[in-house]
């Protein structure tokens, strides 16, 4: 699987089944750019157990408002559509994999 770009319109649909990590960020955000390769590596390693989606908060403000996103990147973990954990700012692959395993 690859990291999937989502929008306000399909965010809920794409996060309602299984374990999903949603990366809410923006193209101009330095830490967001730093986390992108980490998410790609995580997808390669855990792609069968973890779906990863990305949302541009500038183009999709409704979802950012709904989840009270104040800083980016904000990483939201969903299990079958329910928000189970969130993390703000850059995180290592090991940290994210640990969170995913806790909820997997």
Which pLDDT value is given to residue 67? 97
Residue 10 tokens, joined: 């399909």
The active-site residue, picked from 29, 36, 87, 88, is 29
29 included as an active-site residue: yes
Which pLDDT value is given to residue 1? 64
* Residues in a beta bridge with 78: 20, 83
Which pLDDT value is given to residue 93? 96
Q: What global pTM score does this model have? A: 0.96
Which pLDDT value is given to residue 104? 82
Which pLDDT value is given to residue 49? 94
Report residues of the chain scoring pLDDT below 70: 1
32 included as an active-site residue: yes
How many residues appear in the chain? Answer: 104
């Amino acid at each position: 699987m690859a990291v999937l770009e989502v929008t306000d319109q399909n965010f809920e649909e794409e996060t309602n089944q299984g374990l999903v990590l949603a990366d809410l960020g923006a193209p101009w955000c330095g830490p967001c750019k730093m986390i992108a390769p980490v998410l790609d590596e995580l997808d390669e390693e855990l792609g069968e157990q973890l779906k990863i989606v990305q949302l541009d908060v500038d183009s999709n403000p409704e979802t950012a408002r709904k989840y009270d996103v104040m800083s980016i990147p904000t990483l939201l973990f969903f299990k079958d559509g329910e928000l189970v954990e969130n993390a703000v700012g850059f995180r290592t692959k090991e940290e994210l994999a640990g969170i995913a395993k806790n909820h997997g």
